[in-house]
Amino acid sequence: GAGVSQSPSNKVTEKGKDVELRCDPISGHTALYWYRQSLGQGLEFLIYFQGNSAPDKSGLPSDRFSAERTGGSVSTLTIQRTQQEDSAVYLCASSLWVNIYGYTFGSGTRLTVV
Amino acid sequence: ELKVEQNPLFLSMQEGKNYTIYCNYSTTSDRLYWYRQDPGKSLESLFVLLSNGAVKQEGRLMASLDTKARLSTLHITAAVHDLSATYFCAVDSDYGGSQGNLIFGKGTKLSVKP
């Protein structure tokens, strides 16, 4: 597609429920990143996929968070047993060569856990 | 651990004035990125700086990179209200590699008043 597409744009969920957030990167971009943006915490790196390599999961805050990328394209970020502190905007970005072009970000999913 | 620090975090300017936002980082890198974020929106790439001494300009904004000092600046000339936004700098955590995740500063919230 023309840009990075994320869905849903907004999600309200009850504490303890599981949620899935979707990211569709720019066609041809081999690298895909998930970040979390919350008040007072800035932009926090979560996970990074590069081609067919094993993902860099070093930023995932707990084992309730997981992500996969199918076919080198669409990615799903799953949060299990959501907690109120998971409330944030989850941003996806993709890149062809980050060291030349940087990232292109999606518009984000605003997650509210009540 | 790579740290990226921006200052100031909040900046209130009058239209027509000049000011500079500073971005310091803690480890060796020759790639630095500037993004803009409007309220409720995603991040938009402004500048990609890929070498020591790099300088890029777009309209009233000019960014520069000094890798020896581990410092980038974003200079605003004759500010106008449309520049009101939050500005983030980011550094590639994978210096020397081909891809990596970006580590972001906390952002500088700029407000330009008439």
* Interface contact flag, B102 A103, Cβ < 8 Å: yes
Smallest CA–CA separation between B25 and chain A, in Å? 15
Closest listed residue to residue B77, CA positions, set B93, B96, B58? B58
* Interface contact flag, A107 B41, Cβ < 8 Å: yes
Cβ of residue B19 closer than 8 Å to a chain A Cβ? no
**Is the model's pLDDT at B74 over the cut of 60?**
yes
Per-residue pLDDT tens digits for A39-90: 867 899 999 998 878 888 888 999 999 999 988 789 999 999 999 999 999 9
pLDDT band at B97 (very low <50, low <70, confident <90, very high): low
How far CA A26 is from CA of A23, A29, A53, A76, B48, in Å, comes to 10, 6, 18, 15, 19
Smallest CA–CA separation between A82 and chain B, in Å? 23
